Amino acid sequence: MNVAVIGTGYVGLGTAALLAHIGHTVTGIDISEEKIAMLQRAEVPIHEPGLDALLASVQSRLTWTTSYDAVAAADVVFICVGTPPGPDGTPDLQYVVSAAASIAPHLNGHTQVIVNKSTVPIGTGDYVTRLLEENSVTFHAERHAVVSNPEFLREGTALHDSLYPDRIVLGGSPDAVAHMTRLYAPLIEQTFVAPASAPRPETYTRPAVVKTTLQSAEMIKYAANAFLALKISFANEIAGLSERVGADIEEVMTGIGMDTRIGSRFLNAGLGWGGSCFGKDTQGLISAGREHNYDMPILQAAVTVNYRQRQDVLQKLIRQLRTLKGKRIGVLGMAFKPDTDDLRDAPAHDLIERLHGLGATVVAHDPIAMPRASREWAHLTYHEAGSVEQVFDRADAIIVATEWTDYRTLDWNALTPRMRRPLIIDARNIIRNPIDAQVEQIGRDAPAAEEFTMDTSL
């Protein structure tokens, strides 16, 4: 099929690469001339492992443009634009509205499916249908249908999640969903050749296909992210109590994660979630409940616990240093998670802002995200470290804010002598062996000489 993808962010680029790889002809559209120029030069504007190689391998089936003219020839049009939270937590749909209004004049006489890939509030599918109808003289309800096809990608593993998904959710009319099933047939049947950058797992067979209504598909996306956010906040809340009663949060989460009703994923205590999804989508559900006069106290508590975690990490620092005025604090990690340069709602942002406000000098480092931070965090006051060693130089304390592999494998004992005071606030629990420094972790004591190993043989 001919496919148009509106938006060249994480979702749009991943969608374009996936569809081109499984055999479709794809045109990527973005209003940013800078982004399109980069893509036309075969430069990828985001960091996602393996994405550059995959895009390069399908160049013959990919075109990049700022013009919506390609919509006229498309069988399927994906809307993959941002829906950032507004001041009250309600998703801002201005980019979705703009995309739909720009698509509408280019609709033609053949069957075309418009796909909401963006995370949108329940009811947006119907709203987009009305926008198309109002802005197109050729709109016809039997030929032009809107489908909700939410993404479930994790930044850092987006290629794997795109090519080998747990499930594909398709919400819309039966005819439109059937059209999408044909589009995704090579993905559903797994008949495509796996790229070298993302080999097919040996145990993987094929994804489940969930066919449902527009409203249910939109709710599935929000509910899934909110539940994962809740699991992380639950782990962090239990971590706080574990510290006070002498329990080890990792032992506790290992024990409960073995219960198949619970599962072990998303139970890692630490600095809390960040990124573009969990906070926004959880707040989106809360605001939807508010619109319908329905309180959602569990989700509100998950949000409260998550952002409290950032303050708790600072309190650990203050308990040790008493005052931060005149202190030099190193921050290891700026991206909200490893293997991405995404800085949206990154915990490190709040730490840097608060540390500076308390009078500290902040030196920050990230293996990938520093160039992007210099643009997007220009409002913050901190020093960029050209190397990890510079973070440790004369530091009164170090905070581990992102669990990059580069930091997991550091020779800590070689670096801590550079510090004025060897104090490490390991907010991601990555230090696994004793080091020559005072270490504070989340929900557990610092590593002892003999590491704990749970016996699961009984």
Binding residue per annotation — 432?
no
Binding residue per annotation — 211?
no
Binding residue per annotation — 290?
no
- Residue from 335, 334, 338 nearest 49 by CA: 338
Binding residue per annotation — 35?
yes
Binding residue per annotation — 337?
yes
Binding residue per annotation — 154?
yes
Sole residue written with tokens 């969903």: 177
Binding residue per annotation — 328?
no
Binding residue per annotation — 267?
yes
Binding residue per annotation — 155?
yes
Binding residue per annotation — 316?
no
Binding residue per annotation — 231?
no
* Residues designated catalytic: 277
Binding residue per annotation — 119?
yes
Which residues participate in the annotated binding site for substrate?
152-155, 221, 266-270, 274, 337
Which residues participate in the annotated binding site for NAD(+)?
30, 35, 83, 119, 155, 280, 344
Which residues participate in the annotated binding site?
30, 35, 83, 119, 152-155, 221, 266-270, 274, 280, 337, 344
